[in-house]
Chains A and B, each alone.
Chain A
Amino acid sequence: MEEGIITAIRIVPLEHYILLSFLLFSIGAAGVVFRRNTIIILMCLELMFNSVNLLLTAFSAHHSDPRAQVFVFFIMLVAAAEVTVGLSILVMMKRNVDSVDVNQLNRLKG
């Protein structure tokens, strides 16, 4: 990886990154909790994951340690896998209850 980018990243103080990714993470989490459309919820999940990726990258830059970036790739991979599964499940749901509203599904309770 090119030195320039690292330094570029380092210019911004770490706290900002942390704050930003916290913000993104919270937005994601809030979205997951409060939105009812499954598609959007999936996107919010992505958002959460990516905020983490951002954070990791920032950390790795600041610790000047590449392992975190490797981890980021793993995360992307896993996220992809999850989304695939998620979407397939979503299709199944659509088939069962003709809707993508998460709260349509509540036969199991109590």
Chain B
Amino acid sequence: MNQDLLAALVPALPLMGAIILASLRRKLSTNAAGGLATALMAGAFVCSILLFMGFDATTGGRTVKLLDWIHVGSMEIPLALRIDALSLTMMLIVTGIGSLIHLYSIGYMHEDERAPTFFAQLNLFSFAMLMLVMGSNFLITFIGWEGVGLCSYLLIGFWYKTPEYNYAARKAFVMNRIGDVGMVLAMVLLFQRFGTLEYATIMDAATGFNDPMMIAATLFLFIGATGKSAQIPLFTWLPDAMAGPTPVSALIHAATMVTAGIFLTVRSSVLFELAPFTQDIILWIGTATALIAASIGLFQNDIKKVLAYSTVSQLGYMFVALGLGSYSAAMFHVTTHAFFKALLFLGAGSVIHALGGEQDIRKMGGLKGHIKITFLTFFIGTIAISGLPLMSGFFSKDLIMAFAFDRSPVLFALLLIGALMTTFYMFRLLFLVFYGKYRGNAHPHESPLSMTLPLMVLAVLSVVGGLLNLPHLFGGHEAMKHFLMSAADGISNESLELSHVTEWTLMGITTALVAVMIYIAYGRFAQKATLEGNEADMPFFKRLIAQRWRVDELYRALFEKPYAWLSTNLFSIAEQKVMVPIMNGVGAAANSLGDGFRRLQTGYVSFHMLAMLAGLILFLVITLMSN
């Protein structure tokens, strides 16, 4: 089958779905809509696989031009797709996990009467995400970039009747927009520099340059990335984004959209390679995010919030990898993270579904008896993210940490702390939800097959995901790395000079400490009957962390309030007290001038004649003077 057609089909199918569902959303039942949506996503997945089969890494990739989009002067930006190792990887993740989550949603959204709309938007998202990863130039990527932003806005605010949700949705969109400013700046800069936005061309032309402009460009790109991938300082929207239905959180805010930033960086790895300064910044921001988010995760009591912060911190790890220049490690972690984080979210969704919408872990506990499949899968997810040996998370995270150690032991130590915190809050979550005795008052029941099936699939993937990029240490040959190398030149100059001994020891240390963490967590949370929740009696520092470092409050005080104030006063003062009065003032001045001169016309004829005489003499004087 024609490769180009296949490539075109991949985004086309979900788009089709979106349009059909949107237009027929009144007529279709949940199952019909969900079925259609899932089928189309599955179709896209199949196409991706076929492309993957037919793909020959040695060629480096192909560009499928659909039509001439923007063509002005010397600016030619085609609407074209790029099929190479990188985009294929992302396509497989997006469509694969996407179809699973679509399937899951059929069960999850069953009661909601607006389910068809939901599926339409989910499909639209998939389309946008696919454009993002398949675009052959920055601007096409940007289409997806903004598209996913819109969809995430729609889906976060899906339950539009709750003002907080709408606020969260707006917050997400606006913060993404702030990132987009950086993205646009980067694009205009690159365009001016290279006269094109095609990835291939730029990456070829770039090698050799390194100048401030390159640093600027990469920094702008990174700003864009922070917006989408919820890094410091733009990370506060992601936890709020949990307002959306859980499948959304799984698909958009865990598996796919939030990894867009990583994807973009890998895409333009060449540029980043030329700007070491930017790389360092990425490294430290990534580390900071990883730690801060993890620390916040320790005290969250909302099951989804915990996962959200864990996502943020995991994204932090990926950026660390990018900062270290190990793009394959980053992509590897993106993949495995997609598996287990999707799994965890869907599991959480299943729990919430089981408890009829309850999200507070203080009102849970002892569920492992009631919902077995959910428990097992969730357990697998937990150990995967905590990086217990031979789990997918183990390989990907250790790879990153190995690179970190290669850079500096301090960095390694910091990341290790992060990893341990991760383990701690994940197991805290696990124990509080599934162990001990039930603290709530609902009647837990297992979810339907349509929901448990994706859980199982993802569970398997979370276990075996590591094989994708099995390191030499375990007899593998880093398949993924070599596969991606053809797409992202940055990968080729990764190098990891660590003796096997060091690697073993590092793994040993990590694993041992993780085990300890699990033990502590077990001791503290496994048998809890009740849970102290009130932050009031915490010591200051602990409370600060529990209150998410008060970042939201800070931003509200620094930006939102002043902006509102400005908006009000610009109108009431600048506009109404200055601009408009000035305009009217001119008229008033003319009028008063008129009144003044009007007095000359006294109506006394003698005065008039006197005035004539005076005027005449005045003229006489003036003119004779000027003579």
Residues of A in contact with B (beta carbons under 8 Å apart): 29, 32-34, 36, 102-103, 105-110
**Chain A: minimal CB distance from B603 (Å):** 3
A106's partner among B604, B609, B610, B613 (CB-CB below 8 A) is B604
Contact: B604 with A103, CB < 8 Å? yes
* A106→B606 CA distance, assembly (Å): 11
Q: A33-B606, A103-B604, A109-B604 are in contact. List 7 more A-B contacts (CB 8 A).
A: A36-B606, A103-B605, A106-B603, A106-B605, A107-B603, A108-B603, A109-B601
**Chain B: minimal CB distance from A44 (Å):** 11
**Chain A: minimal CB distance from B166 (Å):** 62
Interface centre among B601, B602, B606, B613 (most CB of A within 10 A): B606
List 5 tightest A-B contacts by C-beta distance, closest first.
A109-B603, A106-B603, A33-B610, A103-B604, A102-B605
Contact: A29 with B613, CB < 8 Å? yes
**Chain B: minimal CB distance from A58 (Å):** 23
B609's partner among A33, A108, A110 (CB-CB below 8 A) is A33
Of the A-B pairs whose beta carbons lie under 8 Å apart in the complex, a sample of 7, sorted by A's number, is A29-B613, A33-B609, A34-B610, A105-B605, A106-B602, A109-B604, A110-B603
**Chain B: minimal CB distance from A61 (Å):** 28
Contact: B601 with A102, CB < 8 Å? no
**Chain A: minimal CB distance from B386 (Å):** 94
Flag whether B500 is at the interface (Cβ < 8 A): no
B residues near A103, Cβ cutoff 8 Å = 604-606
A residues near B27, Cβ cutoff 8 Å = none
* A36→B606 CA distance, assembly (Å): 7
* A32→B598 CA distance, assembly (Å): 24
- Can you name the residue of chain B whose Cβ is closest to the Cβ of A38? B605
- Can you name the residue of chain B whose Cβ is closest to the Cβ of A30? B613
Contact: A102 with B602, CB < 8 Å? no
- Given contact pairs A29-B613, A110-B598, A34 touches B605 in the complex (Cβ within 8 A): no
**Chain A: minimal CB distance from B412 (Å):** 93
* A107→B604 CA distance, assembly (Å): 9
Contact: B601 with A110, CB < 8 Å? yes
**Chain A: minimal CB distance from B143 (Å):** 69
Contact: A102 with B603, CB < 8 Å? no
**Chain B: minimal CB distance from A38 (Å):** 10
**Chain B: minimal CB distance from A34 (Å):** 7
A residues near B601, Cβ cutoff 8 Å = 109-110
* A107→B598 CA distance, assembly (Å): 15
B residues near A33, Cβ cutoff 8 Å = 606, 609-610, 613
Interface centre among B598, B602, B603 (most CB of A within 10 A): B603
* A32→B601 CA distance, assembly (Å): 18
**Chain B: minimal CB distance from A93 (Å):** 11
Report B584-614 residues with CB < 8 Å from chain A CB.
598, 601-606, 609-610, 613
* A36→B609 CA distance, assembly (Å): 12
**Chain B: minimal CB distance from A57 (Å):** 25
Contact: B606 with A34, CB < 8 Å? yes
A residues near B610, Cβ cutoff 8 Å = 33-34
**Chain A: minimal CB distance from B408 (Å):** 90
* A102→B610 CA distance, assembly (Å): 13
* A102→B603 CA distance, assembly (Å): 11
Interface centre among A34, A36, A102, A109 (most CB of B within 10 A): A109
* A29→B613 CA distance, assembly (Å): 8
**Chain B: minimal CB distance from A90 (Å):** 13
A residues near B602, Cβ cutoff 8 Å = 106, 109
**Chain B: minimal CB distance from A87 (Å):** 17
* A3→B613 CA distance, assembly (Å): 39
B606's partner among A102, A108, A110 (CB-CB below 8 A) is A102
- Can you name the residue of chain B whose Cβ is closest to the Cβ of A109? B603
- Can you name the residue of chain A whose Cβ is closest to the Cβ of B605? A102
A residues near B603, Cβ cutoff 8 Å = 105-110
- Can you name the residue of chain B whose Cβ is closest to the Cβ of A34? B606
Interface centre among A32, A33, A110 (most CB of B within 10 A): A33
* A97→B372 CA distance, assembly (Å): 116
A residues near B606, Cβ cutoff 8 Å = 33-34, 36, 102-103
* A34→B613 CA distance, assembly (Å): 11
B residues near A110, Cβ cutoff 8 Å = 598, 601, 603
B residues near A34, Cβ cutoff 8 Å = 606, 610
**Chain B: minimal CB distance from A23 (Å):** 16
**Chain A: minimal CB distance from B616 (Å):** 10
**Chain B: minimal CB distance from A82 (Å):** 15
Contact: B604 with A32, CB < 8 Å? no
**Chain B: minimal CB distance from A68 (Å):** 24
- Can you name the residue of chain B whose Cβ is closest to the Cβ of A101? B606
A residues near B609, Cβ cutoff 8 Å = 32-33
Interface centre among B602, B603, B605, B610 (most CB of A within 10 A): B605
* A6→B111 CA distance, assembly (Å): 128
* A105→B610 CA distance, assembly (Å): 16
- Can you name the residue of chain B whose Cβ is closest to the Cβ of A32? B609
